[in-house]
Every structure is written in C-alpha cells, then in structure tokens.
C-alpha cells in the first residue's frame, strides 16, 4: 500500500509539468547533474520482471520540470540515466 501511495503521489505531482522545459524523450542526463541543479527526489519505486530482474526508478522534480531516472547496468549497480518527462504525443507514423 505504501508503494502505491508513493507512486500515486509522484504522478499527481507530475501532472502539472510543463513539457517545454524537459529534454527530448530520447536524451538523457546524469542524476548527479540534476541533483546539483537543485532537483529533488519525489518518489522511488521498483519493478520485478518475470526472470526476477529488478528495475529501479527515481522521480526527480524541480518546479515544472521532472525526470524519471532508470537504473542503468553500467559500471555500478546504482547507476541511473534520467530522461525528461514530456507530454504524451500520439504516434501518427502508423
């Protein structure tokens, strides 16, 4: 129940985000750079996939900008890549 509350709180705070201040969805930045810029951790959660693999996420926010940081399996077990959260756009390519 606590996990659900944390996730809901994160998404409620994200609803007011202005997408013009976020990076494009395919660009990432380091979590350390965002924290140095004053972004705050608003939520953290994890998912367990079928094979038992755990994916960890952190939501950062500063004013109208927010990022979802995903655990990256790089040099360290606690490495994260952060992607700007942007408004959903319909894919008209199909």
Whether the per-residue pLDDT at 27 is higher than 60: the answer is yes
Mean pLDDT score of the chain, rounded to an integer?
A: 76
pLDDT class of 58 with cuts at 50, 70, 90: very high
Domain chopping of the chain, boundaries: 2-84
DSSP structure string for 14-69: HTT--GGGSPPTT-EEEHHHHHHTT-EEEEEEEEE-TTS-EEEEEEEEETTEEEEE
The predicted pLDDT at position 53 comes to: 79
Whether the per-residue pLDDT at 14 is higher than 90: the answer is no
66-77: per-residue pLDDT in tens?
A: 999 998 666 667
The predicted pLDDT at position 52 comes to: 79
- A 10 A CB-CB count for 81 gives 15
Place of tokens 């705050």: 40
- The contacts of residue 73 (CB under 8 Å, 6+ apart) are 79
The pTM score is 0.64
Whether the per-residue pLDDT at 82 is higher than 50: the answer is yes
């Amino acid at each position: 129940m606590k996990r659900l509350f944390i996730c809901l709180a994160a998404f409620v705070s994200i609803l007011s985000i202005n997408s013009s201040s976020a990076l494009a969805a395919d660009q990432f930045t380091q979590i350390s750079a965002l924290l140095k810029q004053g972004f705050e951790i608003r939520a953290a959660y994890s998912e367990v996939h079928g094979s038992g693999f755990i994916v960890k996420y952190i939501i950062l926010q500063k004013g109208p900008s927010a990022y979802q940081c995903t655990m990256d399996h790089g040099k360290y077990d606690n490495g994260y890549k952060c992607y700007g959260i942007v408004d959903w756009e319909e894919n008209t390519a199909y």
